[in-house]
Structure 1
Amino acid sequence: MIVITTPTGQIGGRLLDILLDEAPARGEELRVIVRDPGKLPDAVRARVDVVTGSHDDAEVTDRAFTGADAVFWLVPPDARAPSVDAAFSGFTRAAAKAFTAHGVGHVVGVSALGRGTPVAGRAGLVTASLAMDDLIAGTGVAYRALANPTFMDNLLWQAASIRDHGVLTETVAADRAAPRVAIRDIAAAAARLLLDRSWTGAGEVPVLGPEDLSPNDMARIVSEVLGRPVRYERQPPDDFRAALTARGVGDAFVDGYVDMMRSKDEGLDAGVRRTPQNASPTTFRAWCEEVLKPAVEA
C-alpha cells in the first residue's frame, strides 16, 4: 500500500497519475489523503482508497498509515502559519509518530537543495524544510528527501506579466546561473522511489534538471519560444516583500520567502554537482513550449 498526500496538487496529482498507470501491474494498492474528495475525478476515486482530512491531523494519519508500506509526503504551503517551523515540522509531527506506530517502511518527501552550504541555516523556507527532513529521518523510517532547486513552474505566476509587459522578475542577480526543475520530473523521481523500495536508511535525492540557467538565460529562451521580446528585471527584496504582503502572505512566510531568495542569490542551490543520476530530463525550453507558452497565450 502506497499512501499519497496532496493528490490534487501539482506534484501529488502528477505522481498519482503515474502510479495509477504503473502500480497495478506491480500489485501495489493506492491510498490518498485529501481534504475534499470531490476534487478527485470519479475515475480516480474508484481506483484508490480515500482517507478524508488533512495530513497534519493525528487521527487522519492514523487511519491512512494503517497497513501502509510507503508514503509520499508533501507539506502544503500555509502562508498564514505563525512560523516556518510550524508550517513544516509542526505540520509533520503527527505523521512522524504515525510512521513509527504503524511500521511504515519507506517515506519519500519533497524538500529542497541547500544542505551543507554556508547559507543553509539562514535560508528561510529551505532551512525549515531541511529541519522537517531531519524530523522524519529521526523516526528511523527509510527516508528519501527529494532535494529540489527552484521550480520552472513558478514562472506560471508571471504568465500575465510576460504576456502584457514582456517582463519576468526574480530577486537574484541576472547572471546567477542555477539549476531549475520541472515539477513533472519531481513526480517521476518520487514514483521511481516509491515503486522500487530496495533502498534503506535516510538521504537526499537531488533532482536538478539538465542545465544551469541564469534569469537572463531564461528570458532569452522565453523570448525565442514566444516569438516576442521578454526581458528580466531584478526585483529589490523590499518590493518582493511588499508584493507578498499584498497577496495576503503572513509575516512569518514573507520573511521565509525573502530569506530563501536571498540565500539562492548567495549560492544555496549550487552545492550539488550534476550527474547522469540526478539530472532530470525536462529542459527549460521544452517546458516553455509545452507549459508556459499555452499559459501565456490562454
Structure 2
Amino acid sequence: MSKFLVTGATGNVGRHVVSQLAEAGLEVRALVRNPGTARLPDGVEAVRGDLTVPESLEPALRDVESVFLLWPGYSEAATAAAVTAVARHARRVVYLSADVEDLADGEEPALFHQSVERLIRHSGLSWTFLRPGGFAANTLGWADQIRQGVVRWPFGQAVRALIHEKDIAAVAVHVLTSAGHTGGRYVLSGPEQLTQAEQVRIIGEVAGHEVRWEEQPLDEAREHLTALWGDPGFVETALKGWGAAVDSPERMTDTVRRLLGRPPLTFRQWAEDHVADFR
C-alpha cells in the first residue's frame, strides 16, 4: 500500500488532508514539530520533523511514495535541501502554492512560491501544483472585531473569491490518490465573488448579530497592520492586493467542480463551520 506524508499536518489545510486520507483507509504519516500535541486521527503516524531543518526529514520520508508539501517559510538553502530529500524517497509531490504566474524560460522568480515551484520542477519528482487564491480562513483575523460588532479595515469593496480549506484539502487528496495530474497547475477558488464588507455581513448573520464595516484610512491601516504582522513588505503586498481587487475582482475558476464533481463550498458554509470562532 502507498504511504502518504503530509506536511503542515496540523494547519488549516493539512489537518483536512490528513483526516480525508485516513477516512479513505490509506496509510498516512504526518510531519509535525511535536507529536505529543498533534491531535491526529486514529491510525495516523506522527513523526517529528521540520521542513526548515532538512536533515530531520529522513525518518518521515522512509517508505513514502507521495508527499503533500506546504512550506512554513522560505530559506533558499533549506528549501533546496528539503526538496532534494523528498526526491530521494518519494515519487510524487503535491505542492500547495499560490495563484502565481508561470515563469518563462530563464526568468528569475519574483515570489516565494515561484521559487519553490522551480525547485520542484527541476527535482525529478512527478509534481502537481495547487494554486488557490484567497483563503476563507484568513477572515479569522477579524474575529475579535466581529465579536465587538464593528470591523475597521481597509478596502471594504475589494472583491474576493475565497475558498474553504476543506475544498483545497479535497482537491489535494483527489490528486494524491488518482492518476493523470502530473504537471497540473490547478488554480482554485470559491464559487462566488464577495466584497470584504459582504464577507463581514455574512459572518455576522451566521454568528447571530449585526456586524458593521468601517472603512479604515490607508495610512492608519498600514500602521496597524505593520504592528500586527511585523513585516512592512508583507503589509504593502497585502494592501496592494486588496486595492487591486476593488477594480479587478479575484478570479473564479471551475477547477474544484471539474476535479471533484461538485461545486465548491460557499463562504456562508465556511462561516457556519467556524461560527464558534466568532462568538
Quote the offset at 1:43 in angstroms.
Answer: 5.8
**Which whole-Å CA distance do the structure 2 matches of 1:56 and 1:6 have between them?**
12
Q: Structure 1 pair 93/175, CA: closer, same or farther in 2 (3 Å)?
A: same
8 A contact 1:4–1:31 mirrored in 2:
yes
**Which whole-Å CA distance do the structure 1 matches of 2:201 and 2:39 have between them?**
38
8 A contact 1:8–1:39 mirrored in 2:
no
Amino acid corresponding to residue 2 of structure 1 in structure 2: F
8 A contact 2:188–2:253 mirrored in 1:
no
| 2:141 equivalent in structure 1 | 157
| 2:11 equivalent in structure 1 | 9
8 A contact 2:131–2:185 mirrored in 1:
yes
| 2:150 equivalent in structure 1 | 166
| Length-normalised TM-score, structure 2 | 0.83
8 A contact 1:7–1:32 mirrored in 2:
yes
280, 286, 289: which one aligns with 2:272: 289
| 2:128 equivalent in structure 1 | 144
| 2:173 equivalent in structure 1 | 191
Quote the offset at 1:260 in angstroms.
Answer: 3.8
**Which whole-Å CA distance do the structure 2 matches of 1:185 and 1:264 have between them?**
23
Higher relative contact order (CA 8 A, sep 6+): 1
Matched, 1:221 2:221: no
Secondary structure of the 2:198 match is helix
**Which whole-Å CA distance do the structure 2 matches of 1:135 and 1:236 have between them?**
40
Q: For this pair of structures, how many residues does the alignment match?
A: 268
Quote the offset at 1:168 in angstroms.
Answer: 5.4
53, 58, 67: which one aligns with 1:57: 53
The gaps in structure 1 that reach 5 residues or longer are 79-84
8 A contact 2:6–2:30 mirrored in 1:
yes
Secondary structure of the 2:189 match is coil
**Which whole-Å CA distance do the structure 1 matches of 2:214 and 2:119 have between them?**
38
**Which whole-Å CA distance do the structure 2 matches of 1:240 and 1:140 have between them?**
44
Amino acid corresponding to residue 100 of structure 2 in structure 1: G
| 1:82 equivalent in structure 2 | none
8 A contact 1:56–1:93 mirrored in 2:
no
Q: Structure 1 pair 114/179, CA: closer, same or farther in 2 (3 Å)?
A: farther
Q: Structure 1 pair 259/90, CA: closer, same or farther in 2 (3 Å)?
A: farther
**Which whole-Å CA distance do the structure 2 matches of 1:223 and 1:250 have between them?**
28
**Which whole-Å CA distance do the structure 1 matches of 2:271 and 2:152 have between them?**
13
Matched, 1:108 2:74: no
**Which whole-Å CA distance do the structure 2 matches of 1:136 and 1:51 have between them?**
23
| 2:35 equivalent in structure 1 | 37
Q: Structure 1 pair 54/214, CA: closer, same or farther in 2 (3 Å)?
A: same
Two-structure CA RMSD over aligned residues (Å)? 2.9
CA displacement 1:218-263 (0-9 Å, x = unmatched): 233234334433233344454344334434x444xx3124214413
Secondary structure of the 1:33 match is strand
Q: Structure 1 pair 269/207, CA: closer, same or farther in 2 (3 Å)?
A: farther
Q: Percent identity, please.
A: 28
Secondary structure of the 1:67 match is coil
| Length-normalised TM-score, structure 1 | 0.78
Matched, 1:99 2:101: no
**Which whole-Å CA distance do the structure 1 matches of 2:77 and 2:243 have between them?**
28
**Which whole-Å CA distance do the structure 2 matches of 1:237 and 1:190 have between them?**
37
**Which whole-Å CA distance do the structure 2 matches of 1:48 and 1:222 have between them?**
33
